[in-house]
Amino acid sequence: MNARIRHRLRSIPLLILVLGLTSCFRKPDRSQAPVEVPPSFSAGGEGAAPARWWTAFGDGQLDKLVEKALAGNMRLRVAWDRLAQAGAVARKAGAPLWPEISAGASAGRTRTVTEMAVPRGGSDSSTAAAAAAATTAAVDVETRTKDVVEYRTDLALNVAASYELDLWGRLRATKNAAAADAVATREDLDAAAMSLSAEVANAWYRLVKQRAEIELLQRQQKVNSEYLELTELRFKLGRGTAVDVLQQRQQLEATRGDLSVARMRRELLEHQLAVLAGKPPKSVVGGERGSLPELPRMPATGLPSELISRRPDVRAALIRLGAADHRVAAAIADRFPRISLTARGETADGKLRDLFDDWLASIAASILAPIFDAGRRKAEVERAKAAASETLHVYGGAVLVAFREVEDAITSEKRGAEYLANVSRRVKLAGRLTARTRERYANGGTDYLPVLVALRAEQNLEKLELAAKLSLIESRIGLYRALGGAWELRPPADDEDDIGESR
């Protein structure tokens, strides 16, 4: 057995030991959430929420607004750009798994000028011979000089290849981490789209509520004008006082002030909707709708364990946890030797037709093992493990927030429905009270103060009823958003060629 074979056999135990060390890291099982998962939610309906949940309201204007926002919103376009960057980073991280091949070529031409002495009167064709003869014979004749120009062509071509053997999985772990980051970025995009659709729906129904409130205030302004006419008439007839007239004028001015504020809020909401759709603030992006819609049937909430897989933000947190595990594996593998292979071939000649006839080739292998780095690689392993632990807790927090948001929406809708019913009953009672007190005032049975108090209470309750209806709708929007889900989300038209098909 020759020395080379004996040397290779002696290296086998060392290789087995190193492979055993790399197997010390096992990717943790992340199939279970790191927090307690409740068996069910506190309530749930029987309705089926469509993937595009906003269509459940049956509002064509809302459907158009959401579609405009998904296509033109600047924040969503930023999310698409981040996804494209993450995809490029993932492809870059996977490149070292393949050999790197490079080629080079060079060409040059050298011009050489030599000064020669020749006898004066000698022919050009025998300048060199004449000069030699003149030198040899030592003939004392007059001479002259002549430049001799020579050209030389140099051509060279070289090809090189290098490849690192990924024995310990460092390169593959790095690639897998970057690929997981890209997938998580896609989940971030879906979460951003879900939040955007909810934001558009909330802004739209706030706008509808403001329009309804403006109509309500205009009716209240008309009623207050009629009451002012009544108090002025009674004052002229000597049955009322100037205080009654002033109080009612103050009530009328208050309504006019509320009307101005309501119009301001309507315009601000129109600006917000336009910007959400990717348009300038003064653009018209929504049609007219005069009243808030009735709530559709409450959707089925499903099981909390199912919510974890439906919510894109929770899925993103889980995927990033897997990426952190891959980075721990890469940090551990970085402590072991790196083995690289290189190959090179080159040729050179003065003529192109002979350039490929004679090649000089070389193949080499190298191993680079860390011996002393002042604990840098060990510290990186510890940092990667701490980062993975942090990501685990972020994932647990995302799960808990998802559960809380569903329960918050359920509670808000349940108590909001009770509150709306209470306010509606109070509005009816206030209307009856206002009618009775006005009748007594017209017949001289009371002064104007009870009428004014009843009128203010009724009008405030009417505005409160509108706000309660809006709050109930916002609770339902919050429930749809909290339940998650996904739909086919395509990139903007001008980005489709760069990003490719969406899932």
| Residue 473, token pair as written in the block | 């709708």
What is the per-residue pLDDT across 321-338, written as a single tens digit (0 to 9) for each?
999 999 999 999 999 998
pLDDT of 497 over the 80 cut = no
Q: Is the pLDDT of residue 238 over 90?
A: no
Higher pLDDT: 22 or 424? It is 424
pLDDT at residue 370 in the model: 87
Structure tokens that stand for 450 in this block? 């009870």
CA 161 – CA 151 distance, rounded (Å): 34
In the chain, which residues fall in CATH 1.20.1600.10?
Answer: 24-98+168-335+376-499
DSSP letters along 82-99, please?
Answer: HHHHHHHHHHHHHGGGS-
Please identify which residue in the block is written with the tokens 């009672």.
429
More confident residue, 254 or 357: 254
Query: What does the alpha-carbon distance between residue 65 and residue 287 come to, in Å, rounded to a whole number?
Result: 9
Indicate whether 379 pLDDT > 90.
yes
Phi and psi at 445, nearest 5°, equal: -85, -10
User: What rounded mean pLDDT belongs to the chain?
Assistant: 84
pLDDT computed for residue 222 by the predictor: 94
Nearest to residue 451, comparing CAs of 260, 234, 238? 234
pLDDT at 355 (0 to 100): 61
**Superfamily of domain covering 24-98+168-335+376-499:** Outer membrane efflux proteins (OEP) (1.20.1600.10)
Residue 3 above 60 pLDDT? no
pLDDT in the model for residue 352:
62
d(CA 227, CA 451): 9
Helix axes 312-333, 376-442, angle to 10 degrees: 170
Question: Any residues with CB less than 8 A from the CB of 47 and at least 6 apart, and which?
Answer: 56, 296, 297, 298, 299, 300
Taking only the tens place, the pLDDT of each residue in 69-95 is 999 999 999 999 999 999 999 999 999
Amino acid present at 232: E
- Determine the pLDDT at residue 206: 95
State yes or no: pLDDT of 502 exceeds 60. Answer: no
Report the DSSP beta bridge partners of residue 311: none
Give the C-alpha separation, 54 to 67, whole Å.
10
pLDDT at 417: 95
Q: Residue 291 has what pLDDT? A: 86
- Average the pLDDT over each of 59-68, 214-223, 343-352 and give the range with the smallest value: 343-352
479, 305 contact by CB (below 8 A) = no
**What is the band of 252 on the pLDDT scale with cuts at 50, 70, 90?**
very high
The answer to whether 314 and 403 have CB atoms below 8 angstroms apart is no
Any idea which of 209-213, 282-286, 356-360, 488-492 has the lowest mean pLDDT? 356-360
- Does residue 315 surpass a pLDDT of 60? yes
Contacts of 24 (CB under 8 A, 6+ apart): 332
Sequence-separated (6 or more) residues with CB below 8 Å from residue 273: 65, 200, 203, 204, 207, 285, 286
Whole-number pLDDT of residue 24? 46
Residue-level pLDDT at 432: 95
Q: What's the length of the chain?
A: 503
Q: Quick one: what percent of the chain has pLDDT higher than 70? A: 83
pLDDT digits (tens, 9 = 90+) for 90-122: 999 999 889 889 888 887 777 777 777 666 654
Beta carbons of 76 and 69 less than 8 angstroms apart: yes
Tokens 């080079």 label which residue? 104
